[in-house]
């Protein structure tokens, strides 16, 4: 076991270096970068929320460049069809037969921009591919590339599109990360970069280089699965989930799948922090990003100005922390 430690340390350092590379192009979104890394190490997907212009597209493109993996972007619109995402059968005029043309989902990092602006049928096609890691057409199953991560974006509630994701589909995302408007100092740094000639369409010109690879991500996924979880920590996660179900402000608490998601995310965070065991602090660090989008407010609580983040904080505070 000890002879594997240096190898794991080198792997961890390569993946942590991704943060620095992304920072060459994206200012002030460290939490979002960390969330995307955690999701990659868990084989999960991320829902990103922020107003337009907070570098969501740039973040995913820069992450892909720093990992030397493929990325594609899809702008979700009301007229988008499922086949526009997953691919479809088309006639090959030269051969005179139907062939499968891969959709943009056949990539490593897919940016699903404004996912709440497309009809449920198209949303479901993407979410099925996310869940199964494959696409089926004409009786043939086609596996998606590895690693595979969907970073879906939506605008905040006041700009919500016509087709908001229902709770069952929100539950398919491992994490929800917020991309806030940067503070004044960061915004000044952004404008200074642009004044100096920064082009967000050319991340290579910003000095972004590949410091890790898709193979490193897969190796990291295997390492994360070896992180130990003590019975007391597993019980702590269950008690947090149960506390949300008992909250009078919520119509929907955290499901067992949500508790499992928190366990996976906490394991990845512990490994990135250089430990082979999960602590209660790891659980608390990932609790909001992993659970807040899985909660449903009662209408009366919403009218009183309560939000899911406050309810979750209250639930976390009500559960004794194991020592």
* 65 Cα distance to chain centroid: 17
- Which CATH fold would you assign to the domain 2-225? Rossmann fold (3.40.50)
Q: Are 289 and 301 in contact (CB under 8 A)?
A: no
Q: Are 231 and 282 in contact (CB under 8 A)?
A: no
3-state SS assignment for residue 12: helix
More confident residue, 92 or 112: 112
E strands of the chain, at which residues? 46-49, 71-75, 87-92, 97-102, 109-113, 134-137, 140-143, 149-154, 175-178, 250-252, 296-297
Boundaries of every domain in the chain? 2-225, 227-323
Residue 16 has pLDDT above 50, yes or no: yes
Retrieve residue 310's tokens. 């406050």
Q: What single-letter DSSP state applies at residue 163?
A: S
In this predicted structure, what is the pLDDT of residue 160? 54
Prediction pTM value: 0.89
- Segment 91-99 mean pLDDT: 76
- How do beta strands 250-252 and 296-297 pair? antiparallel
The pLDDT-based confidence of 5 (bands split at 50, 70, 90) is low
Instruction: Supply the mean pLDDT for the chain.
Output: 89
- Is the torsion defined by CA of 27, 32, 35, 39 positive or negative? negative
Residue with tokens 């909250």, as numbered in its chain: 247
3-state SS assignment for residue 226: coil
More confident residue, 93 or 130: 130
Q: Are 38 and 272 in contact (CB under 8 A)?
A: yes
Architecture of domain 227-323: Orthogonal Bundle (1.10)
The pLDDT-based confidence of 2 (bands split at 50, 70, 90) is very low
In this predicted structure, what is the pLDDT of residue 93? 73
What are 307-311's contacts with CB under 8 Å, separation 24+? 308/250, 311/244, 311/247, 311/249, 311/250
Q: Helix crossing, 231-245 with 308-318: angle to 10°? A: 130
Nearest CA-CA partner of 125 in 76, 92, 91 = 76
Retrieve residue 99's tokens. 């062939």
Q: Are 103 and 88 in contact (CB under 8 A)?
A: yes
- How do beta strands 109-113 and 46-49 pair? unpaired
Q: Do domains 2-225 and 227-323 have the same CATH topology?
A: no
Retrieve residue 10's tokens. 């080198």
In this predicted structure, what is the pLDDT of residue 4? 45
Residue with tokens 């069809």, as numbered in its chain: 81
Q: Are 47 and 179 in contact (CB under 8 A)?
A: no
- Segment 34-52 mean pLDDT: 92
């Amino acid at each position: 076991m000890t002879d594997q430690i240096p190898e794991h340390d080198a792997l961890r350092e390569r993946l942590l270096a991704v943060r620095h590379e992304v920072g060459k192009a994206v200012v002030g979104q460290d939490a979002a970068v960390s969330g995307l890394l955690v999701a990659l190490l868990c084989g999960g997907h991320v829902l990103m929320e922020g107003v337009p212009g907070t570098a969501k597209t740039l973040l995913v493109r820069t992450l892909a460049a720093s990992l030397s993996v493929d990325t594609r972007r899809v702008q979700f619109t009301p007229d988008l069809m499922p086949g526009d995402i997953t691919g479809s059968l088309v006639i090959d005029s030269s051969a005179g037969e139907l062939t499968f043309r891969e959709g943009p989902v056949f990539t490593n990092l897919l940016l699903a921009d404004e996912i709440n602006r497309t009809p449920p049928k198209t949303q479901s096609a993407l979410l099925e591919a996310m869940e199964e890691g494959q696409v089926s057409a004409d009786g043939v199953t086609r596996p998606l590339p590895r690693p595979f991560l969907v970073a879906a974006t939506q605008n905040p509630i006041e700009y919500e599109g016509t087709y908001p994701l229902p709770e069952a589909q929100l539950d398919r995302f491992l994490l929800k990360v917020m991309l806030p408007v940067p503070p004044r100092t960061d915004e000044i740094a952004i404008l200074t970069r642009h004044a100096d000639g920064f082009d967000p369409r050319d991340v290579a010109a910003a000095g972004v280089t590949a410091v890790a690879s898709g193979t490193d991500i897969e190796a990291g996924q295997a390492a994360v699965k070896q992180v130990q979880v003590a019975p007391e920590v597993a019980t702590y996660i269950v008690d947090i989930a149960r506390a949300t179900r008992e909250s009078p402000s919520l119509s929907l608490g955290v499901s067992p799948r949500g508790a499992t998601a928190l366990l996976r995310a906490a394991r990845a965070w512990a490994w990135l922090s250089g430990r082979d065991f999960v602590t209660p602090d790891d659980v608390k660090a990932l609790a909001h990003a992993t659970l807040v989008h899985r909660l449903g407010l009662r209408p009366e609580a919403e009218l009183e100005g309560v939000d899911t983040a406050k309810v979750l904080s209250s639930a976390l505070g009500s559960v004794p922390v194991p020592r």
